[in-house]
């Protein structure tokens, strides 16, 4: 049981570390885009804020798309350490789901912190919650299946 808790914690921690890194990169790129398209452009009224909103949306999509990739990598490595495919299926899925929500929450919160006053068209954290919840489903499926497959080879 101790090993299961440790593996679940490690998998969730990997997602959290990715969330911090993705959030910092999103903050840097979001701040840079705003400085180039709004501040340096003299407060561009039409193009700048719309482009920033699109850039924020694209950044969130990238964060969501990385969920299944990170789940596959971590579940593939840690699933082999679990005793059987049924347990690996559950542990891999649950860890991937919660890990993804932690990663996405951290990354999106940091991204939203970069939003300036002139970029009000960019989404808020609460507007990203439903897509985030939905994106967790394929992430959990990927984590559970890869974990189970990995444990079979053990």
- Condensed to tens digits (0 to 9), the pLDDT of residues 97-122 reads 999 999 999 999 998 887 766 666 67
Cα separation, 8 vs 11, whole angstroms: 5
Question: What total of structural domains would you count in the chain?
Answer: 1
Confidence of residue 46 (pLDDT cuts 50, 70, 90): low
User: Residue 143: its pLDDT value, please?
Assistant: 95
Task: Please tell me the predicted confidence (pLDDT) of residue 80.
Answer: 86
How much is the pLDDT for 7?
86
Contact 46, 132 (CB under 8 A): no
* pLDDT for position 116: 65
Torsion of CA 54, 138, 27, 55, to 10 degrees: -10
Q: Is the pLDDT of residue 45 over 70?
A: no
- At 22-40, the pLDDT tens digits run 999 988 887 787 777 665 5
pLDDT at position 84: 86
Average confidence (pLDDT) over 52-56: 80
Distance separating alpha carbons of residues 152 and 84, to the nearest angstrom: 7
| Residues above pLDDT 90, as percent of the chain | 50
Quick check: 7 and 59 in contact, CB under 8 A?
Answer: no
| Domain enclosing residue 121, as ranges | 2-152
Q: What's this model's pTM, rounded to 2 decimal places? A: 0.87
Range in 19-23, 65-69, 79-83 the model is least confident about: 79-83
d(CA 126, CA 112): 10
């Amino acid at each position: 049981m101790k090993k299961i808790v440790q593996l679940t914690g490690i998998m969730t921690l990997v997602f959290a570390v990715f969330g911090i890194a993705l959030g910092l990169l999103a903050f840097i790129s979001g701040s840079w885009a705003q400085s180039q398209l709004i501040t340096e452009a003299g407060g561009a009224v039409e193009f700048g804020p719309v482009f920033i909103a699109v850039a924020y949306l694209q950044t969130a999509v990238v964060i969501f798309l990385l969920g299944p990739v990170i789940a596959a990598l971590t579940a593939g490595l840690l699933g082999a350490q679990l005793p059987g495919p049924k347990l690996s299926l559950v542990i891999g899925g649950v860890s991937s789901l919660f890990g993804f929500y932690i990663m996405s929450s951290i990354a999106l919160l940091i991204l939203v912190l970069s939003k300036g006053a002139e970029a009000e068209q960019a989404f808020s954290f609460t507007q990203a919650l439903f897509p985030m919840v939905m994106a967790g489903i394929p992430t959990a499926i990927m984590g559970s299946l890869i974990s189970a497959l990995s444990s079979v080879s053990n």
